[in-house]
Amino acid sequence: MEPERKTTADGSATFYVPEINEHYHSTYGAVQESMHVFIKAGLRVLMKKTISIFEMGFGTGLNALLTYLEADKYNSIEFHALELFPLKWNLIETLNYQGYLNLTKEQTMIFRNMHSIPWEEKIQISSNFLLKKMKADMNNHVFHSKYDLFYFDAFAPNVQPELWTEEIFKKIFNAMNVHGILITYSAKGEVRRNLQKAGFEVQRLPGPPGKREIIRAIKQ
């Protein structure tokens, strides 16, 4: 069954997956949530000019796109993304992030390329943005690199409890550089505790509209 397109409160669109009764982004604002959580509370906090990022759950590519739109502030960004259930471009296109974000022709082409490039290969999609997508399951993924920033964007803990565990967070902790940041939209008590048990120092931050708090976890 294909996901259904929904318009969220900030006017940007997302997908709804009826089988699991879950949206890809917040219904209070898809772009607003991604900007607030992953870009403002994650990317912009790092005090580095050369950054390696891992995203758990590439989905529509919105986080990758918003990160790319910040890329000229950095020397280089290497972005690795894991996705078990890739979406087709002709579906993603219907979300019209290109229109909502007022993308230029070149930026729209790059967003499209993010979806059409081959999996498992490192591709330089712009002068300072390198993308590698991996079609794999987070449950048994083995990390081969270290990261400064981890976008943890799985479906919610009540939908995918097996991904928000101490065991998974420990695996991520071991794949992070010192002072690396894991950022996620859930501030559930159990998620916080599992991150702490995995070794992270956990901060609770104000969430975007519709969400009281989010989590930033740091490898000290």
Ligand X SMILES: C[S@@+](CC[C@H](N)C(=O)[O-])C[C@H]1O[C@@H](n2cnc3c(N)ncnc32)[C@H](O)[C@@H]1O
Applying CB under 6 A, the residues found at the interface with ligand X are 24, 34, 57, 59-60, 62-63, 82-85, 137-139, 153-155, 160
CB of 44 to ligand X, least distance (A): 17
CB of 47 to ligand X, least distance (A): 24
User: Letter for the amino acid at 194?
Assistant: N
Burial code of 176-190, b = ≥16 C-beta within 10 A, e = fewer? beeebbbbbbbbeee
CB of 161 to ligand X, least distance (A): 12
User: Letter for the amino acid at 111?
Assistant: F
Q: Report DSSP state, residue 214.
A: E
Between 62 and 198, whose beta carbon lies closer to ligand X? Answer: 62
CB of 135 to ligand X, least distance (A): 9
CA distances (Å), origin 24, targets 61, 87, 96, 106: 11, 12, 15, 26
**Helix (H/G/I), strand (E/B), else coil: 97:** helix
Between 24 and 68, whose beta carbon lies closer to ligand X? Answer: 24
Q: Which of 60, 58, 56, 55 is nearest to 13 (CA)?
A: 60
Quick one: tokens of 220? 């000290």
CB of 202 to ligand X, least distance (A): 20
Helix (H) or strand (E) holding 189: helix 189-197
Between 52 and 184, whose beta carbon lies closer to ligand X? Answer: 184
Between 82 and 131, whose beta carbon lies closer to ligand X? Answer: 82
Identify the residue whose tokens are 């565990």: 165
Between 140 and 220, whose beta carbon lies closer to ligand X? Answer: 140
Q: Report DSSP state, residue 154.
A: P
Between 100 and 155, whose beta carbon lies closer to ligand X? Answer: 155
CB of 95 to ligand X, least distance (A): 9
